[in-house]
Amino acid sequence: MIMTQPTFSVVIAAYNAERTIVQTINSVLMQSYGDFELIIVDDGSEDLTLPFVLRKAATDQRIKVATQSNQGVSAARNLGVSKARGKYLAFLDADDVWHEAKLAKHLAFHKSDPALEASYARVVFCVDSGNDLKPGRTRSTVFEDYCALEDVLIENAVCTMSNLVIERDTFHEIGGFSSEMRHVEDQDLLARLVGNGHLLRGIPETLVGYRMSADGLSCDFAAMLAAWKKLADRWSDQIDMKRAEALYCRYLARRALRSGTTMALARDFMRQGISSDRNAFLSGGPRGVLTAGAVLAGSAVPPSVRKALFA
């Protein structure tokens, strides 16, 4: 049988995701635009992730499954891409979900702007309450024009790899994910994308549900800051490093407030941000003021209220 090239190759890297993976897969299978292949890479899971994935694969021929020993999310995504045939790559984390029009909206967006090589949309931050995801109050920002280096390197307009759609040829041209990176690998990829002149632009619609959790790799904030500093240093000739560090510390402070972790982390990030560039940290109107106010209020604001304010 002759295999036709799908428009999209959706890549999910999964590690110990038995609690969320089925809901994530279902959000792909429910897409209004169905010309895609779904490549799921099990990154050496020690739970029931792989059996769950194989069971779903038996129900839909568009699902392909690959496995590897645990090597990290970057290596898993690269493995998935190596098996991809689609014109566009769309990444999705194993605990996030898509709006049913996600792929259709991105396809229309790229067709309306043939020069565009990558796109993203708004993300809604969802409270993780068991198996259900409850949309919070906070949504990510979408810039009106093409992204500049600062837009992806500092506060990360794309927000999560669950949000990115990129031409497969462009992904290969910029070298894919850095397999040795365990943190900020998404911003590293985006910096190489935008920093080398490729066009990235946002769709002003909410198409991704991001599951918030206080544990896991995505919330190892101290390690994220250390990795980000190394990444930013590579681009120090193109950005104001003091301003960039202040804004990134504010970004991490907001994430810490959102996730419900200890207030000590948020205070540390605010101190570092203010020390680096006070004006930059407090810039952005309500964004800067609300972040500083919530940190200063500290334990007077219950975790549930902080989650509601920042999610």
Query: In what helix (H) or strand (E) does residue 209 lie, and over which residues does it extend?
Result: strand 200-212
- CA 18/CA 52 separation, integer angstroms: 7
- Cβ distance 191 to 109 under 8 Å? no
Most confident of 76-85, 217-226, 249-258: 76-85
Confidence of residue 73 (pLDDT cuts 50, 70, 90): very high
φ, ψ (nearest 5 deg) of residue 202? -105, 150
Among 5-9, 107-111, 117-121, 307-311, the least confident range: 307-311
Output the average pLDDT for the chain: 90
Instruction: Give per-residue pLDDT as tens, 8-53.
Output: 999 999 999 999 999 999 999 999 999 999 999 999 999 999 999 9
Which pLDDT value is given to residue 135? 72
Tell which CATH architecture fits domain 8-212. Alpha-Beta Complex (3.90)
Residue 308 has pLDDT above 60, yes or no: no
Share of the chain above pLDDT 90, in %: 71
Separation of CA 299 from chain center: 29
**50-53 LR contacts (CB < 8 Å, sep 24+):** 52/18, 52/21, 52/22, 53/14, 53/21, 53/25
Q: Count CA atoms closer than 13 A to 239's CA, side-chain side.
A: 24
Higher pLDDT residue, 252 or 131? 252
* Residue type present at position 168: R
Share of the chain above pLDDT 70, in %: 89
- CA 106/CA 95 separation, integer angstroms: 21
Q: How are the residues of the chain apportioned to helix, strand and coil, as percentages rounded to the nearest 5? A: 45, 20, 35
- CA 302/CA 68 separation, integer angstroms: 42
Q: Where are the domains of the chain?
A: 8-212, 240-310
pTM, whole model, 2 decimals? 0.90
- Cβ distance 258 to 290 under 8 Å? no
Higher pLDDT residue, 159 or 216? 159
Among 58-62, 122-126, 127-131, 168-172, the least confident range: 127-131
Instruction: Give per-residue pLDDT as tens, 250-269.
Output: 988 887 887 666 688 888 99
Task: Give one DSSP letter per residue of 38-100, joined into a string.
Answer: EEEEEES-SSSHHHHHHHHHTT-TTEEEEEESS--HHHHHHHHHHT--SSEEEEEETT-EE-T
Nearest to 73 by CA among 44, 47, 37: 44
Q: Is 264 left (phi over 0), alpha (psi -120 to 50) or beta?
A: alpha
Q: What's the DSSP call for residue 147? A: P
- Cβ distance 238 to 149 under 8 Å? yes
Helix 263-281 × helix 221-234 angle, to 10°: 30
